[in-house]
Amino acid sequence: MRTIIEQFALDIGCFPTDLTTDTFCYGQPTKAMFSYHRFAGVAIVYQGKLYIRADNVSLVSQLKKQYQGKNNQWFFELQNIQDFQAILIKNGYRLKEWGTFLLPQKIIDSEDEAFQFFYGDGIDQFRNQKDFDQCFTYSKEDPDILGVAYQINNKIIGMAGCNENGKYCCEIGINILSNYRKQGLATKLIQKLTAEIMKADMDRIPVARTEFSHTESLNAFINAGYKLGWTAISFEKETEISHLRNRK
């Protein structure tokens, strides 16, 4: 199976062998990048190392001077984020978004007969269904691959889905109907979907994204055999953000 370092190398614009230390690169976003890194710039913290790409040579130089060789496993401390944001603002950038990402570690496949799989055109039937709005993207750029539903009395009460994301990843999303939460169903669905991805030999790494504050989501993936993988923060040019606001 691919390693996440191979995806990071595409996202930063370097070789995988460069990522044994803090790395700072100039480059533009491309479709091959993981979607949450597919912005004017991104800072990734993985195993205590900091990887930064930006579309501005001067900004890359400033960030390298500020952060190379530092104890970057503490990068997301509040004071540091404020300092980071100040550098961005000075150069005409703003924070875009940040998040926590999880990777599979030890997945146990369940043989429960209540599972049902959906592929290709079969996924489209769930479009615009709010109960399952986190499972699929319906995106041409990052197309959906697979969905798995959990049923009780022929009723779908929970679902997990995955879509292509970047060149080497697929992203997992999940929904459980409110009356059936906190019963371990999320864990079962994550395990089943992840096991199916691995059996299908898609040559893609299953990845989950959530917010720092969403402890329920974090725990569901951890209980399913995932581990915390990396944190990332993206940024965008202020002119582009202002343009998007003016269109609303």
pLDDT digits (tens, 9 = 90+) for 140-198: 999 999 999 999 998 999 999 999 999 999 999 999 999 998 888 999 999 999 999 98
Rg of the chain (C-alpha set): 19
**Are 76 and 209 within 8 A, CB to CB?**
no
Q: Work out the burial of residue 163: count CB atoms within 10 Å of its CB; fewer than 13 is exposed, 13-18 middle, 19 or more buried.
A: buried
pLDDT tens, 32-66?
999 999 999 999 999 999 999 999 999 999 999 99
pLDDT of residue 81: 96
pLDDT tens, 66-118?
999 999 999 999 999 999 999 999 999 999 999 999 999 988 887 777 899 99
**Which H or E run contains 173?**
strand 169-176
pTM exceeds 0.85: yes
Mean pLDDT value of segment 118-136: 92
